[in-house]
Amino acid sequence: MGGVVEVKQRIEQLRSLLNYHNHRYYVLDSPEISDEEYDELMRELSQLESEHPELITSDSPTQRIGAPPAEEFGVVEHPEPLLSLANVFSYEDLAAWHRRASNLLGGSDFDLVCEPKIDGLAVALTYIDGLLVTGATRGDGYRGENITQNLKTVRSIPLSVSGKKAPPKFEVRGEVYIPKEGFRKLNEERAREGLPLFANPRNAAAGSVRQLDSSITAKRPLDIFVYGLGPVEGKAVPDTHWEIMQYLKSLGFKVNPEITLCRTIDEAEEYHQKWVEGRESWPYEADGMVVKVNSIAFQGELGAVAHEPRWAIAYKFPAVQGTTRLIDIGINVGRTGSLNPYAILEPVRVGGVVISSAALHNEEDIHRKDIRIGDTVIVQRAGEVIPEIVSPVVSKRTGKEKVFHMPSHCPVCGAEVIKPEDEAMHRCTNSACPSQALEKIKHFVSRGAMDIDGVGEKLCQTLFEQGLVKDVADLYYLKDKKEQLLGLEKMADKSVSNALDSIDASRDRPLARVIFALGILHVGEEYAELLAENFLSVDELSKASQEQLLSLPSIGPKIADSIVTFFRQKGNKRVIKKLRKAGVKLGKEKVEEAKPEELPLAGLEFVITGKLKSSARSEAEARIKALGGKASSDVTKKTSYVVVGADPGSKVAKAGKLGVKRINEAEFMELLTQSSKAK
C-alpha cells in the first residue's frame, strides 16, 4: 500500500510541476526549463498513469493530448447568453455610443476598458470546484456545441484553478485563435501534404476546435485570450471589469497584455489609432478593438437590446479590402502533383501593398463562391495572410464572364489529370512531371527538411532549368560540376563553395528529416517523426506493409496507402538508391536500452530532505529514477543516501541513528552527473 501512496504523491508532484511550467510557457511566455526537460516530466507522468489508470484525473496535463473521435457534439445551454457586439466604424459613431450610454445612466461619466478584438472563435469555459468541466462554442448565443475535449488540448486553457481563490462554480469567456506564425506553419504543412489551405486564421481556429477527433485539435497551434467572466456562484467578484480581468489573470487565465484602462473616450480613440497604425506587426489577427464600460453596476443598468449589450461596442478597424478585375485563373502544379488554381488580377493596392494574384484553393471553392473569369471581385488582405478573393460583384457582370473548369490534362507535362474521390484537389498522374520534380527539389532543400543553406528556391530553379539537377539526389553530385556552377549568374567561387559545403553537411541529417524531405504525399513533419521512431531506416520503412503502418497511432488508410505507393514507384526507388550511393545517411544506429538493473543507480535508495537550490525536488527525484535508483520519502535501513538540502527536517537525525550516509547537495549533484555520463 505504501508503494501506491508514493506513486500517488509522485503523480501529484508531476502534475503540479507540469501545470506550473505549462503556465509559464503558454500564458506568461517565460519558460524556466527546456522542451526536453518538460517532455521528460510528461513521459514520466504518462507512464505512471498508464500503470495506475485509477489515479488519472480530468485535470491531469496528460488529458490535453486528445481523445478518440467523438460521435457528435452535444448541446450546451448557456446560463447567460453569449451576446455578439454591435459595430462602429468611426470616432463619431464611437462618441455617439458613449453619449447614449451616458444618457441612459442619467448623465454619469464612466471609465472604459479597451482591448484588441481577436478574430477567432468565442467560447465559454465552466469550472466547478476548480476543475474545467465544460467548454462550449457561442452557437446562437443561447445554445452552443459541447467541445470540452477539444478545448482541453489548448495548453493556455487551465484544466484546473486554485480552489482557494476561485468561486465554487463560475464561467470564463474567451476567444480561441491561431497566431499568425502558427497559421503560416500550419498552411505550409498542409501544402506539403497536398491538402487545401485554410483561407485565414479564424477559419483554421474554428475548424480546429470543431474536429470530431480531438487528437487532430491537439496538433493545431491554438491559443486563447479570456475577455470576461460569466455567471458566478458562491463568491463575490470585483466591482469593475478591469479588476475582474486582473482577478482572472491571478487564477492563471491568459489575459491579453494589451488590455488598457481609459478614463475618457479620447483616450480610447488614441488606443484605437495606435493599433490601426501597427496592425501589420501584431502576432495575431484582430479586426478592431472592444470598448467596455468598466463599472459592473453600470453594465447591469445598461443591459442589452436584442442580441447586443449596450455596455460594450466593437470599434472596427478600416477594412483591408479592394475591388479589381479577375483577368484569368492560372494553375500551379505542386510537388505532390496537386493542381493549385490562383487568380491573376489587375493590380490593386490593398492595405498598402499592390496585389496582382490571390489564392483560390480548389475548383470546388471557386464554384461555391461563384467566381468567374472576367468578374469584378472583392479582394481581401489581412496582415500577412495570403490575399484571397472574398466574392464576385455580381451586379457588375456583363454576361461575358466564363465559368472556370479544371483542365483535363496537366498544363506542364500534358499528362491526364484525375480527382481522387476523397480529395478536394485535382492531381497530375505523371510522377515525372517537370513541375513536380522542381517543387520536390525545393522542398528537399527547405529548412524543415534537409536544411541546405545557400541553395534557395531561385538556385533550385536555375539548376533544374540548366539540367544540372533533375531530381533531389543530383544535388549530391554537383561537386563534379563546379565549373558549370561558376558559369551561372550570381554564382561566384565563394557562393559555390558555400553551397557545396552545405550540401555535403546535409548527408548526416536525422532520419525524420530525410523521410520528410522525400516528399511523400500526406507525410508532414509530425508523421515523419512518428515513422522515424518506429523504423530504423528508409529501407525498413520502404518494406512496411499497410497493416504495419495502420498499427501506428494517427496513421490512417489514406496515409498508409500513400507511403506504400511512394516506395512502390520505380522513380522513387531510383532516387533513394542514388542518395545511398552519394553517402546520404538513410537510417539510424540501433541503440539498445539499458536494463533497469544495469543502470548506474540501480539498487540505491535516496531520501531528500530540505530545499534544493539547483532544482525542484520532483526534478531531482525524476533524475534518480531515470538512472535506475529509487526516491523515497521515509528513512529506513534500506536507505542508501539522505540528501541534505537547506532547512532539513528530522530525517537527518533519523539517518544518523540508523547509520545511513548523508550527503550535501553538491555531492548529490556530482553523483547524478557522473551517473549520467556512465549511463
Shared-domain flag, residues 253 and 160: yes
pLDDT at res. 657: 85
* Model confidence band, residue 306 (pLDDT cutoffs 50, 70, 90): low
pLDDT at res. 64: 63
Number of independent structural domains in the chain: 6
Shared-domain flag, residues 465 and 380: no
Whether 259 is in a domain gets the answer yes
Whether 71 is in a domain gets the answer no
Percent of the chain beyond pLDDT 90?
40
Whether 418 is in a domain gets the answer no
Shared-domain flag, residues 271 and 239: yes
Exposed/middle/buried for residue 660 (C-beta within 10 Å: 0-12, 13-18, 19+): buried
Last residue of a domain, one of 258, 288, 316: 316
pLDDT at res. 229: 94
**Highest-pLDDT range among 218-222, 264-268, 445-449:** 264-268
CA proximity to 40, closest of 593, 627, 662, 500: 627
pLDDT digit string, tens, across residues 14-44: 888 887 877 775 566 566 666 556 667 877 8
Shared-domain flag, residues 219 and 307: yes
Q: Which residues are catalytic?
A: 117
CATH number, domain with residue 159: 3.30.470.30
Average pLDDT over residues 653-671: 88
Residue 3 clears pLDDT 60, i.e. is over it: yes
Shared-domain flag, residues 108 and 177: yes
CATH number, domain with residue 666: 3.40.50.10190
Domain, as residue range, for 547: 511-581
Whether 589 is in a domain gets the answer no
Shared-domain flag, residues 83 and 153: yes
Shared-domain flag, residues 261 and 284: yes
Shared-domain flag, residues 108 and 216: yes
Shared-domain flag, residues 557 and 608: no
Last residue of a domain, one of 40, 64, 88: 64
Shared-domain flag, residues 517 and 639: no
CATH number, domain with residue 537: 1.10.150.20
Whether 424 is in a domain gets the answer no
Whether 60 is in a domain gets the answer yes
Gap between the Cα atoms of 38 and 32, Å rounded:
10
Last residue of a domain, one of 16, 33, 64: 64
Whether 412 is in a domain gets the answer no
Query: Helices 617-626 and 665-678: crossing angle, nearest 10°?
Result: 30
**Highest-pLDDT range among 66-80, 151-165, 367-381:** 367-381
52-56, 71-75, 320-324, 491-495: range with lowest mean pLDDT: 71-75
Shared-domain flag, residues 302 and 335: no
Whether 206 is in a domain gets the answer yes
CATH number, domain with residue 328: 2.40.50.140
Whole-number average pLDDT of the chain: 85
Q: What is the DSSP track for 139-161?
A: TTSSEEEB-HHHHTT-TTS-SB-
Residue 70 clears pLDDT 60, i.e. is over it: no
CATH number, domain with residue 34: 1.10.287.610
* Model confidence band, residue 69 (pLDDT cutoffs 50, 70, 90): very low
In one-letter notation, the amino acid at residue 420 is P
Q: At 35, give phi and psi (nearest 5°).
A: -60, -35
pLDDT digit string, tens, across residues 598-653: 788 988 999 998 888 776 676 678 778 878 888 887 888 889 999 998 878 778 88
pLDDT digit string, tens, across residues 99-110: 999 999 999 899
Sheet holding 87-88, edge to edge: 87-88, 312-316, 286-293, 112-118, 260-262
75-79, 177-181, 451-455, 554-558: range with lowest mean pLDDT: 554-558
Gap between the Cα atoms of 321 and 319, Å rounded:
6
CA proximity to 14, closest of 54, 50, 62: 62
Shared-domain flag, residues 107 and 233: yes
pLDDT at res. 300: 92
